[in-house]
Amino acid sequence: MRRVLAGLLLCAIVGAVGVSGAFVYFAFHLPKFDSLHDYQPLVSTRVIAADGTTVAEYYRERRTVVAFNDIPDVMVKAMISAEDKTFFEHGGVSFLGMLRAAVVDVVRGKKAQGASTITQQIVRTLLLTNEKRISRKMKEILLAYRIEKSLSKEDILWLYLNQIDFGQSRYGIEEASRFYFGVHARDLTLAQASVLAGLPQSPERLSPRRHPEAAKRRQAYVLGRMAKNGYITAAQAATEIARPLQLSTLPDEPTGAAYIEDVRRTVVAKYGAELVETGGLTIEIAMVPSLQRAAEHALQEGLRAVDKRQGWRGAHPLPDAKHPAKLELEHIYAGTVTRVTDNMAEVRLALASGEMPFSTLTWARPFNPASATAHPKTARDVLHVNDNVFARVIKLSPLTLALEQEPRVQGAFVAIDVKTRDVVALVGAYDSTVSAFNRATQAHRQPGSAFKAILYTAAIDSGKYTPVSRVDDSPELVRDADTGQTWKPQNFEKDEFDGPMSLRRALAESKNTVAVKLLQDLGLARVRLMATALGMTSDIPSNTTAALGTGEVVPLELTNAYATLAAQGVQAAPVLIRRVIARDGQVLEDHTVSPTDPSPAVRPAVAFVATDLLRSVIDDPAGTAHRLAELGRPAAGKTGTAAEHRDAWFVGFTPSLCAGSWVGFDDHQMLGTYETGGHAAGPIWLAFMKAATAGKPVEDFAVPPGVVQLKVNFKSGLLAADGDTNARLESFVAGTEPTQMAGPSETAPPDDFFR
């Protein structure tokens, strides 16, 4: 027995020495944490829109650090009751609690009870890992004691409540408060605080959004502990336990998903993912949420209209059903057909059944271009019982629906503030939350006749052409200087040619023959220089087809080139990111300061005359975008339809706002014989511009120095005499205006020289 006792004593001494030695060893190899200045949590980066609202966050841990004064006392008491009732008594470690937990674990045969104090949890989340090793536990104990000596209890609670995981990527009490209840931490109630205090034990298993019953049971436990600790009365606990959970409504899908993702790619490429996701940057972007929403709506509705003209593809196998709280006018929902007659179909939505009149189905001809006239004659020709469909609510009482389908055709839209070059709206797909490809900044497509704005600006800049210059719309074989091959430019009307006409009319009606002749006369080098001056960076083909926009451009790039014309020739890069501010307030980049004396890349007079020419595309009754005159204010722009109708464009501007829309299929299939820039892309531009300019004063384009405005005779392009019935006010770059008067024979009623 003496030998056994001696052996046990020796083992105890060796064990004690070993443990002491281990503690001494670890004491010299522990992370430093001597003050709150050592606290550098992972903080999410906030993206702030032009109206001051937060539109996105980039994060690894979604966290917003708040001061201890912004954390209500009820939250502190709830957390202490839930996680560490002896917090104010212990020195960092509760050995009694550890012993009790060990006994419970042995009795139950599994890990059943935690024993870590709040201080130990801080150590584990901030300075150590969650590995299950004795060495880690020893380090945890040492660090817990060290932190208790260095920091006050208030400081430790502040660290804990800002650091801890509350589930669903929300870290810290501020993010948790906003996510679950839609309030700031400082405004938390007893009911809300008791729910949040229960989450750190198992954030996912106890999530009130995913597991409300488990969250409610845990809340009851926390309230009971608070009552037992004397923080609240038993009656208060009973009252809150009896109440159901009341969570905030989850926010809608973020505005500007493509815009926000493009910004993220840019800042990650510049600063690295580590800083962007954990460094607490503030990124101020140029997006205006109201205009962004208008752009998204305009593009979606425009693409739906184009897609319907492609035909009906039949019922959806499994529509992406959404379960709204209520039905709203003009919103689209998934449903199932329950009954069909000749005159209507009955469709069951998630909340109610409605009637879909045959009048809303007449567009649904078969998806086959050859059957363009084979429209349905009854509702039975389109729908059948058990078909899954998308339906638009067009009337709430009685519930009346219209047939819809998810478009296959895609599009992009860009809107730029002319004066600042802020990209106020940018849409890269029909649904940017589904498609990661941002067509506004990544798609390279042929602009077609939308390139003619650059070509005609070069013509005005050359001094050889004015708006009244006579050009010839006639067929002509063109020989390519590089390949030696010949080709014959055709207009949209194929074999129709109108002969001599003014340069203004040629642009308004988008005459291809004239464009090719202009390029031949000006030379490709001059046109390329003009493209560069306007801000274009894409390559231009080395042949005469370049006049017809056969090179490929990016929608943002082309829209910004038009913005240079709108800005009277001042070129600037489009701005998505206005400022990037570091966590400590240092400004890392600032694009809000414009040059005090910007030098025009294109002479203001040239830009103005080119703009005036582009106004005829809209104002002239024969202009390819005349339907856009419905905007009811001065605007200029150009349609574009690429070869074989694979791309449709409209880019246009008012004095303050420039916008461009593109429509096409990702696989470059044809849109359809009549899907031109004016027909497919123009309505998108118009819908956006109506929303963007609503309630704003009408502006006209300011006439810069170097522009001469004179009344000229339509027929001859010469100066108009008093009483000339063919007179029109025309703009010229000074020095290119006519000096001769029109003769008597040219004052007769106007012909088709200018419409």
How much is the average pLDDT of 524-547? 94
pLDDT at 439: 96
| 508 shares a domain with 528 | yes
What pLDDT was estimated at residue 94?
A: 63
What letter represents residue 228's amino acid?
K
Query: Does residue 127 fall inside a structural domain?
Result: yes
* pLDDT higher than 50, residue 750: no
Instruction: Identify whether 449 is a catalytic site residue.
Output: yes
Indicate the pLDDT class of residue 548, thresholds 50, 70 and 90: very high
Same domain, 86 and 201: yes
Question: In terms of domains, do 416 and 394 share one?
Answer: no
pLDDT band at 25 (very low <50, low <70, confident <90, very high): very low
Q: Phi, psi (5° rounding) for residue 47?
A: -110, 120
Residues 507, 604 share a domain: yes
Mean pLDDT of 312-332: 76
Closest CA to 662 of 417, 303, 287, 289: 303
Q: Which of 346, 375, 404 is the endpoint of a domain?
A: 404
Tokens of 140: 């945890």
* 374 phi/psi in degrees, rounded to 5: -85, 65
| Residue 249 pLDDT level (bands cut at 50, 70, 90) | confident
Provide the number of structural domains found in the chain: 4
Residue 26: its pLDDT value, please? 46
pLDDT at site 49: 97
Residue 479: the pLDDT is 75
* pLDDT classification of 113: cutoffs 50, 70, 90: very low
Over residues 736-755, mean pLDDT:
65
Residue 37 lies in a domain: no
More confident residue, 107 or 291: 291
Of 7-16, 157-166, 413-422, 718-727, which has the strongest mean pLDDT? 413-422
| Residue 371 pLDDT level (bands cut at 50, 70, 90) | very low
Strands (E), 141-299: 170-171, 282-285
**pLDDT tens digits along 651-680:** 999 999 999 999 999 999 999 888 999 999
Shared domain for 179 and 85, answered yes or no, is yes
- Same domain flag for 645 and 683: yes
- Eight-class DSSP state of 361: T
For the chain, how far is it from start to end, CA to CA, in angstroms?
A: 121
Which of the residue ranges 116-125, 320-329, 668-677 would you say has the lowest mean pLDDT?
Answer: 320-329
**Residue 492 pLDDT:** 74
pLDDT at 8: 73
Domain shared by 687 and 713, yes or no: no
Are 344 and 393 found together in one domain? Answer: yes
Helix (H), strand (E) at residue 356: strand 353-357
pLDDT computed for residue 109 by the predictor: 54
Segment 221-240 shows an average pLDDT of: 95
Asked whether residue 476 carries a pLDDT value surpassing 90, the answer given is no
Report residue 589's pLDDT band, with 50, 70 and 90 as the boundaries: very high
Ramachandran assignment for 202, one of left (phi > 0), alpha (psi -120 to 50 degrees), beta (any other): beta
pLDDT at residue 16 tops 60: no
* Model confidence at 253: pLDDT above 50: yes
Mean pLDDT for the chain overall: 87
The alpha-carbon radius of gyration of the chain (Å, integer) is 35
d(CA 648, CA 625): 12
CATH number for the domain spanning 680: value is 3.40.710.10
Q: What is the CATH number of the domain that holds 396?
A: 2.40.50.140
Quick one: average pLDDT of 295-300? Answer: 97
CATH code for the domain in which residue 133 is found:
1.10.3810.10
On the question of pLDDT at 93 being above 80, the answer is no
With cut-offs at 50, 70 and 90, classify the pLDDT of residue 147.
Answer: confident
CA distance 641 to 658: 19
686 and 717 within one domain: no
pLDDT at position 755: 38
Environment class of 150 (CB within 10 Å of its CB; exposed 0-12, middle 13-18, buried 19+): middle
User: Rounded to whole angstroms, what are the CA distances from 685 to 490, 510, 561?
Assistant: 27, 19, 17
Please say if the pLDDT value at position 512 is more than 50: yes
**122 in a domain, yes or no?**
yes
Q: Is residue 449 part of a domain?
A: yes
Of the candidates 44, 57, 81, 83, the residue annotated as catalytic is: 83
Q: Are residues 223 and 372 part of one domain? A: no
User: In this predicted structure, what is the pLDDT of residue 493?
Assistant: 65
Residue 513 forms part of a structural domain? yes
Q: Where is the domain boundary, 251, 266, 298?
A: 251
Question: For residue 650, is pLDDT > 70?
Answer: yes
What pLDDT is attached to residue 319?
53
Indicate the pLDDT class of residue 357, thresholds 50, 70 and 90. Answer: very high
Name the residue type at position 666: D
**pLDDT average, residue stretch 574-579:** 97
Of residues 402 and 723, more confidence is placed in: 402
Is 461 inside a domain boundary? yes
DSSP string, 379-405: GGGT--TT-EEEEEEEETTTTEEEEE-
Question: What pLDDT was estimated at residue 42?
Answer: 86
pLDDT confidence of residue 190: 96
Question: What pLDDT, on the 0 to 100 scale, is given for residue 744?
Answer: 67
Q: How confident is the model at residue 348 (pLDDT cuts 50, 70, 90)?
A: very high
Last residue of a domain, one of 226, 251, 276: 251
Residues present in the chain in total: 755
Across 25-29, 135-139, 249-253, 524-528, least confident range: 25-29
* Other C-beta atoms lying within 10 Å of the C-beta of residue 728: 17
Region 270-280 average pLDDT: 95
Q: Say if residue 738 is preceded by a cis peptide, omega within 30 of 0.
A: no
Residue 573 confidence (pLDDT) above 70? yes
**Confidence tier at 716 by pLDDT (50, 70, 90):** confident
Token pair, residue 88, equals 């104010």
Q: Is the pLDDT of residue 106 over 90?
A: no
Q: Same structural domain for residues 483 and 466?
A: yes
Tokens at 689, concatenated: 């511009």
Average pLDDT over residues 151-178: 92
Nearest-angstrom CA–CA distance, 368 and 447: 26
Residues 6+ away with beta carbon under 8 Å from 178: 184
CA 527 – CA 519 distance, rounded (Å)? 7
Average pLDDT over residues 113-134: 68
Give the mean model confidence (pLDDT) for residues 422-439.
91
Tell me the pLDDT band of 28, cut-offs 50, 70 and 90. Answer: very low
Catalytic residue among 449, 616, 661, 731: 449
Domain boundaries, position 117:
71-251
Q: What is the pLDDT of residue 23?
A: 45
Same domain, 608 and 671: yes
Q: How far apart are CA 577 and CA 588, in angstroms?
A: 12
pLDDT at 121: 83
Q: Looking at the domain assignment, is residue 393 inside a domain?
A: yes
pLDDT-wise least confident of 249-258, 521-530, 532-541: 249-258
Question: Per residue in 479-500, pLDDT tens?
Answer: 776 667 777 777 776 667 889 9
In a domain, 9, yes or no: no
